Structure 1
Amino acid sequence: MSLYAYLALLPAASVVLCASLGLFTLSRNPRNPANIGLFGGLAALTVVETGAAFMLLHAGDATGLVAGARLAAAGMALLPPLWLVFTLSFARSEPAAVLRRWSPVLAAFTLLSLVFIYIICLHAPSPLRAVQPSLFAPSRHTVTVSTAGRYLAVYVILGLLPSLAHLENTLRSSTGGKRWSVKYIVFGVGAVLVFFVYLASQMMLLGAMELELMATVSAVILISVSLLAVFIIRYRLMDVDIFISRYVVYNSLVLLIVGIYLIAVGLIAHGIKYFDLPFDYFVTTLFVFAALLLLMVLLFNTQLRRRFQLFINRHFYSHKYEFRDKWMETIERLGSCTTVAATADILVEMISETMGTKKVFLWLHEPGMKRYRLIRPPDENSSIGEDHPIVRHLSSRKRPFFLKEAMEREKRDEEAADALERLAEQTGAVLCAPLAAGDELLGFTLQQPDLSGEEYRQDDFDILGAFTAQAAVQIKNAILTDDLMDMKAVEGFHKMSSFIMHDLKNLTNSLSLVSQNARHNMDNPDFQRDAIKTVDGTVRRMKELIGRLSTIRKGLELRREPTDLSAVIEEAVAKTVVPPEKEITLTRELREMGPVMVDPMAMEMVLVNLISNACDAIACRGRVHVSSEASDGFARIEVSDDGEGMSAEFMEHSLFKPFMSTKSGGIGIGLYQCKIIVEAHKGRIEAESEEGRGTTFTIRLPL
């Protein structure tokens, strides 16, 4: 058996690995665009590696070599569109929208790929042909690249550049724990794509390629895809003593270490060539690739970088942080936040980046529900009551503390100690810090240990206290601003209502005028037509205004009683008028929830409003679905449609605000009214929407 036959084992192993990982990924979530894209990219690599195995097994057989070359070329032609699907959808919050925006480019790449497959594989000569001894080493085989093969190489280079750019953007845009989650996949996929750009450049510039390079390709794919497999299967997803900034020290030492590392790699590669080892071209190329890939992994290893920073801090500085710089950064970043959500995101990001923790949990107070809810990472079902022992400790201490200290203090109260221990186990947290504005506890943070394994100390407590104190003030300001805006909006509504009532008076006067003229012109056909038209328009306008205004009161009075919500939903559906010009299917899925203490008329009003809005959101034909169930101590009602949806900007800034509407001619008080009524029942109303895909409103009422 020749040496090339042994080298064929590499692409054979690569075929098995790529196919297995692709099928595994697709089976986990076959509807996720990123999973589909990764499956497609790995399928293309499988085709390339199958062709490489044929080429190596038939190194001395022209027919087998040509067949393998055609198959490998077909796989290379598929790389640009399939990997672009993955890089566009990976780690994106709205992958479908991104893919829609890039659909023309994807279509063009797909068409070009099919054209290349048709030309190269069916009509043109093989992209790799004419096996001949190498000029530099007669014992090796060199294959010549045809003209069609060179055009294919140009296409592969240009086609893979957008995918590499998207991978870079994904890595740059990720921070803290998110970067930890995506970096290994970015490195693995990026390494494969970069190597194929290198391979294509060899084909284009040199017009020839040594056959053993196909084994190098297989080895590169094995290393990179193994990195992907490990990640996917395992994670299923200052006052200073010297006047040199610690950041300058970090960067300088990193550059120095990288330089020494690259020099060592170069010396080893030169040694391999100098001693004329067997397959030195294959070994050298593979070694340099593996060394550079290892360097990237080390440079972006969060834990290693954190250990390196702590080493510098301990040996060059008296404090762990540059407090002045961090304080200025805190004011600058948090000071620009105008919403609670933006403040929460920045706070979690700063704690994660500065203190080197893998995960931070942020809980905020909901006074109406008498609980603290986990908002970062978002989890609607994770909440604790105001009587939880962690809240008692936060209220009394008003500064960061270790959870184990709180558990030590609660040793005598077994129930409280168990509650704290469960919280620590669920989150993996060791450190807790309050978000307090004056005497009001707005929320708190929990964070996991330092990635380096080092225990938190006083410097960590000081910097964390500064972060949370500034964030608490910003959150309180955002809440007060929202309340003030709502008060101003309601005040404006009451002012506006007087003008609307004046409009109603004018409409009434027009009806009165028609009535008076009818006594003298009732037999006139022209008058009859005009009168009917006027009456219809006036009545329609009056119903619209009265229907919207009659239910808005300065003070909402509820008459609660044990109520069957399923019956209320059925009544609301029956009262909903579907426009006759639309084809709308209204479906229901109602489950037993037991009696709920609500005002049945008020809740019916809410549901009629939501169902009517869903019908209005559908242009011509569509579906409105209403469902209900009991879940985690709440009665949960959903009203969903497949209509036009709402923009992210409207959802963030205008949803549930008075006088804000997506409907032309809408007054914009319906959803505001729904929110007021649901919150008066100590409940919550939320919305999920995507433009062009529809909207889902969810109501949660305590059982």
Structure 2
Amino acid sequence: MIGCVGNDFIARSRKSSAVTSESILAFIAAVLSAALAVAAVLRNRRSGAAWWFGFGMLGLAVDSVLTGICLSLIGLEQLAFWQEWALILKAFLIAIWLGFAVTYSRGDAGESFRSWRILIAIACLLPVAALVGFRGDLIQVLVRPNSTGLWISFSSPGKIVNVAILVGTVLVLMNLERTFRSAVGTMQWRIKFLVLGLAVIFGARIYTRSQALVFSGHYNSLTEVEAIGLLVGCVLLGVGYFRSGFREIDVYPSRAVLHTSITVLLVGGYLFVIGVLAQIVARYGGATTFQLQAFLVLVAITLLAVFLLSEKIRQRAKRFVSRHFSRPQYDFRSVWTQFTQSTSSAIDDPTLCAASAKLISETFNVLSVSVWLFDEEKNKLRLEASTSWARNAVSDDTIEFPAIDPGFAKMRKAFDLEKVKEDWGRTLREITKTQFSEGGNRVGVPLLAGDRYLGLIILADRVNGVPYTVEELELLECIGDQVASSLLNLRLAKEIMLGKELEAFQTISAFFVHDLKNAASTLKLTLQNLPVHFDDPDFRQDTLRSIGATTNRINQIIERLGTLGGKLELRPSAVDLKVLVEQAIENLNGMPGIEFAKEFESLPKFMADSEQLRSVVTNLLLNAREAIGERGRIEVKIGAQDGWAALSVSDDGCGMTPSFLRDSLFRPFKTTKKKGLGIGMFQSKMIIEAHHGSIRVKSDLGKGTTFQVLLPLTSGKS
């Protein structure tokens, strides 16, 4: 849409387009952006983030071409047309750059992308909706009185698109900051210029979009800021490319970083600085020196970002405060609190070592911190964590070396690695090469827990190469001792856990051994009675049935062994307790010399695991038989008791002592039998409680024992 004021201006605006110095600047930025896109993709073809970056830089190149066209002397209709397409492209680029920001150098890139996929999809659909629904109505070109510039005014849909671009740009910068702040040491150094270059590019866009929202539009010349921003950003990106080739690192950012983001601070502080600079520039020429104004704006952004990201500047500021206010070099309480918080959740050696390396790097301003642990079996040191490179990016033959030199194992305090003349010192210097010539001497900190040697921490590439003070070396030794103690505790905890796992396996295995023992006892009784009653057809039939039932029981035990797990698994079905108990008694085949007394009341069927209950009944009957010896009486009762199915098994055997009943009866591997495993009652109690029932016992030493089992007659009873 075009608003016209003054025929002379319209006539001038309809002249053929001419390339200006401003448009040439935009075209140069477009060429650099496209070149960086191609270089990044060719360098890292297998990286998804590299393709996101490539498409994003190509999009910025096209956008810069549109900016160059708009900065040329073109007609009003053409300007409105190209400005509208530029706005749509800017909105669409947010989706691409958001995809890059949430996947670049992320160890969990897939998970990170999935958590942002809905927002990325919305960012893709918004420009499409604006193009389809409001094409031709997003932008209005006006000619203001007493002005030689064209004013780009935005309609309500255009303002919404501008808001989306501004919010999306802030989200992109917040995610890049999140990645940068999660990296430490040389890994942070490698990606610094890439993050800084993109911060300048998107910082310029935050400025132009905020101006468009504040004033409901902007002069056409304002887009030159974006061209300058892209040009400066490409220079910084080029430095990053020649520095590290856009290589990625693996970091796992914490969500807490977003809550302490400095991006919002940059955006707010940036607008404040812009206002001050605009007043300064206006005094020296106003709108006619807008190019100088844009340059000063970008310089302000760059200087602010460099100050916040530069380790050297931050270290010098810290030293200035320390020197002039005479405070201790380190707040030991703060350091110790940070160490405790960062290592308290570590559950293995790699996690603990990575957290320790990061803390040391941030505390002492050291870019390269590596933690080496001693492998006692191989008598070697192996790299466990490093701030210089990702652990999986180093081949095994470059991270291990023999550690058999007696002088190496005798190091008890922090030492200067450059001064070690032995072979092991030369080997360590070769595999921990410095990346900066001015990083100072490398320092080693042994990890000792008492007389046990656990490993070594090596510090290299200190910012500005500042020598370590006595206070710092003592603090490093203290941290090393704490790391060693934590490592030893983790290893002891692991050994205890393995012991518990073995104990649990032995306990569960003993359950099945006990069931097999009961089945074998049943077969043994049958074989003992077989010669005496072999001529009796009924006995032979009962014997075959008993052998078949016992065989099925053994097969079921084997089947359960195949699904062995830590939790008892029930297979409920309708159970007739009377039939189940009679079958268990019948399987024992009479037991010569034993008198059975049965008192069974009718009970309704209820839901339970019949095989597990049969195991309990068989165990109670065998225990009663062994308690009475060769001769005695066993009484079995079944009845209802207040809505519960009650089963009791009594014998007139030897009984048990009160102390055994109280302390040992239902505990595993506790038994009074000479050949017992001490598993039967423990397993029986587990089975009954899994059915939401209970088991009770009453015993008098020398008189006998009664076990009572209560099971719910309804599945909902507990």
The answer on 1:100 being equivalent to 2:114 is yes
**Which residue in 2 is equivalent to 1:568?**
none
- Superposed CA deviations along residues 258-297 of structure 1, whole A, max 9, x for unmatched, are xx99999877653431121673234223312321221221
The runs of 5 or more residues in structure 2 that have no matched partner are: 1-15, 248-268, 531-536, 566-718
**Which residue in 2 is equivalent to 1:48?**
63
Q: Which moved more, 1:151-160 or 1:172-181?
A: 172-181
Query: 1:99: how far off?
Result: 1.3
Distance 1:261 1:31 in 2: 37
Distance 1:67 1:299 in 2: 40
**Which residue in 1 is equivalent to 2:49?**
34
Query: 1:52: how far off?
Result: 1.0
**Which residue in 2 is equivalent to 1:472?**
484
Query: 1:491: how far off?
Result: 2.1
Aligned mate of 2:474, from 420, 442, 462: 462
Asked if the contact 1:18/1:42 (under 8 Å) is kept, the reply is yes
The answer on 1:419 being equivalent to 2:427 is yes
Distance 1:404 1:199 in 2: 53
Read off the aligned partner of 2:100 and give its amino acid letter: F
Secondary structure, counterpart of 1:279 in structure 2 = helix
Give the 3 Å change call, closer, same or farther, for CA 541–82 of structure 1 in structure 2. Answer: farther
The answer on 1:357 being equivalent to 2:373 is no
The answer on 1:405 being equivalent to 2:429 is no
- Superposed CA deviations along residues 109-164 of structure 1, whole A, max 9, x for unmatched, are 222232234445xxx216444352x44x5232323334543332233234434334
1:25-424 paired onto structure 2 within 5 Å: 25-57=40-72, 59-119=73-133, 124-125=135-136, 127-132=138-143, 134-135=144-145, 138-236=147-245, 237=247, 269-276=278-285, 279-317=288-326, 320-323=329-332, 325-327=334-336, 329-330=338-339, 333-334=342-343, 337-377=346-386, 378=391, 379=394, 381=396, 382-387=398-403, 389=405, 392-407=406-421, 410=422, 418-424=426-432
Distance 1:2 1:267 in 2: 35
Give the 3 Å change call, closer, same or farther, for CA 490–56 of structure 1 in structure 2. Answer: same
Give the 3 Å change call, closer, same or farther, for CA 190–419 of structure 1 in structure 2. Answer: closer
Distance 1:306 1:325 in 2: 17
Read off the aligned partner of 2:82 and give its amino acid letter: G
Query: 1:467: how far off?
Result: 0.6
Distance 1:54 1:126 in 2: 20
Distance 2:172 2:518 in 1: 63
Asked if the contact 2:208/2:225 (under 8 Å) is kept, the reply is no
Q: Which moved more, 1:208-217 or 1:260-269?
A: 260-269
**How many correspondences in the alignment?**
507
**Which residue in 2 is equivalent to 1:10?**
25
Distance 1:131 1:168 in 2: 39
Give the 3 Å change call, closer, same or farther, for CA 155–328 of structure 1 in structure 2. Answer: closer
Distance 1:455 1:201 in 2: 46
Asked if the contact 1:142/1:209 (under 8 Å) is kept, the reply is yes
Read off the aligned partner of 1:86 and give its amino acid letter: F
Distance 1:533 1:24 in 2: 76
Give the 3 Å change call, closer, same or farther, for CA 388–117 of structure 1 in structure 2. Answer: farther
* CA root-mean-square deviation: 4.1
Query: 1:352: how far off?
Result: 0.6
Distance 1:205 1:532 in 2: 90
- Superposed CA deviations along residues 446-498 of structure 1, whole A, max 9, x for unmatched, are 11032022222322211110110111111111111111111122122222211
Asked if the contact 2:150/2:220 (under 8 Å) is kept, the reply is yes
1:560-571 paired onto structure 2 within 5 Å: none
Query: 1:367: how far off?
Result: 1.5
Query: 1:235: how far off?
Result: 1.9
Compute the TM-score of the two structures, normalised by the length of structure 2. 0.62
- Superposed CA deviations along residues 298-317 of structure 1, whole A, max 9, x for unmatched, are 23201221133234434543
Distance 1:442 1:358 in 2: 23
Give the 3 Å change call, closer, same or farther, for CA 501–221 of structure 1 in structure 2. Answer: same
Secondary structure, counterpart of 1:499 in structure 2 = helix
Query: 1:41: how far off?
Result: 2.2
- The percent of aligned pairs where both chains have the same amino acid is 23
Compute the TM-score of the two structures, normalised by the length of structure 1. 0.63
Read off the aligned partner of 1:89 and give its amino acid letter: T
Distance 2:435 2:512 in 1: 53
Query: 1:417: how far off?
Result: 6.3
Asked if the contact 1:157/1:200 (under 8 Å) is kept, the reply is yes
Read off the aligned partner of 1:453 and give its amino acid letter: G
1:504-519 paired onto structure 2 within 5 Å: 504=516
Read off the aligned partner of 1:40 and give its amino acid letter: F
Distance 1:492 1:325 in 2: 42
Aligned mate of 2:464, from 415, 434, 452: 452
Distance 2:293 2:399 in 1: 57
Distance 1:398 1:417 in 2: 15
Asked if the contact 1:30/1:36 (under 8 Å) is kept, the reply is yes
Rg larger in structure: 2
Query: 1:223: how far off?
Result: 1.4
Query: 1:231: how far off?
Result: 1.6
- Superposed CA deviations along residues 11-61 of structure 1, whole A, max 9, x for unmatched, are 10121122111222222223423222222322322222121111122x332
Distance 2:188 2:148 in 1: 47
Give the 3 Å change call, closer, same or farther, for CA 509–197 of structure 1 in structure 2. Answer: farther
Q: Which moved more, 1:177-186 or 1:537-546?
A: 537-546
Asked if the contact 1:160/1:193 (under 8 Å) is kept, the reply is yes
- Superposed CA deviations along residues 356-384 of structure 1, whole A, max 9, x for unmatched, are 11010100112122211101132461443
Query: 1:508: how far off?
Result: 7.8
Asked if the contact 1:298/1:304 (under 8 Å) is kept, the reply is yes
**Which residue in 2 is equivalent to 1:694?**
none
Asked if the contact 1:504/1:542 (under 8 Å) is kept, the reply is no
Read off the aligned partner of 2:105 and give its amino acid letter: A
Give the 3 Å change call, closer, same or farther, for CA 351–114 of structure 1 in structure 2. Answer: same
Secondary structure, counterpart of 1:448 in structure 2 = strand
Give the 3 Å change call, closer, same or farther, for CA 482–233 of structure 1 in structure 2. Answer: same
Distance 1:216 1:44 in 2: 17
Secondary structure, counterpart of 1:452 in structure 2 = helix
Query: 1:348: how far off?
Result: 0.8
Secondary structure, counterpart of 2:420 in structure 1 = helix
**Which residue in 2 is equivalent to 1:697?**
none
Asked if the contact 1:54/1:64 (under 8 Å) is kept, the reply is no
Distance 1:118 1:4 in 2: 32
Distance 1:69 1:305 in 2: 42
Query: 1:204: how far off?
Result: 3.8
Give the 3 Å change call, closer, same or farther, for CA 321–48 of structure 1 in structure 2. Answer: same
Read off the aligned partner of 1:64 and give its amino acid letter: Q
The runs of 5 or more residues in structure 1 that have no matched partner are: 238-259, 550-703
Secondary structure, counterpart of 2:444 in structure 1 = strand
Distance 1:14 1:534 in 2: 86
